[in-house]
Amino acid sequence: MEDKMLFRDEVYAIQGAVFAVYKEMGNAWHEEVYQQCMERELAERHIPFEAKKTLPIFYKGKPIEKTYEPDLWCYGKIIVELKATDSLADEHRRQLLNYLRITKSRLGLLVNFGAYPRVRIERYALWSLPLFGRGEWRGVALGFRVASWRAQPVSCPVGGAEARRAAAGVALLAKARPLNVRRLVKG
């Protein structure tokens, strides 16, 4: 079976850096500490990244004062958002999906260093799918939970043929655990 996982090698390199930081630091620090550790680890591994890149927000074609700053932008195509909380909330997921929409990036990693007993990584891919055969397009997020080096597909917010088309773009590994991403994608 051909592997169709989006940016597989790049994601594995980033995950290796995440696991190295967690192994060294554990889960007892604030987000800013993990930010600096990740920057250092990515630099040591020669992974190209930009930290705290400012992203403008546009309303009716004009920028507004509020901007977004994702924690890390790796390889110029993968957004990595770092958290240090007991558990990830829907607002964290929405934040990452907003970053993906603003940058028109297709892949984002939501990393929680505060989880115990291991770091938690959720992978989100943003896809555009035709709906109902009428030429309508909508962004669809596919969520993934990563406990080790293996990504496990979680769910797709649309059903039937649309779900099969979305899943065809990503390698399907192991058993799926449901995560309701439908709430995160409006359209």
Nearest to 139 by CA among 118, 119, 125, 151: 125
Q: What is the pLDDT of residue 10?
A: 95
DSSP assignment of 27-57 equals T-S-HHHHHHHHHHHHHHTT--EEES--EEE
Q: What is the pLDDT of residue 105?
A: 86
Where are the chain's structural domains?
8-184
Q: What is the pLDDT of residue 128?
A: 61
Q: What is the pLDDT of residue 5?
A: 79
For residue 185, the Cα-to-chain-centroid distance in whole angstroms is: 14
Contact 184, 97 (CB under 8 A): yes
Low-confidence ranges of the chain (pLDDT < 50): 1, 129-140, 144-187
* Cα dist from 46 to 41, 143, 153, whole Å: 9, 27, 28
Q: What is the pLDDT of residue 143?
A: 53
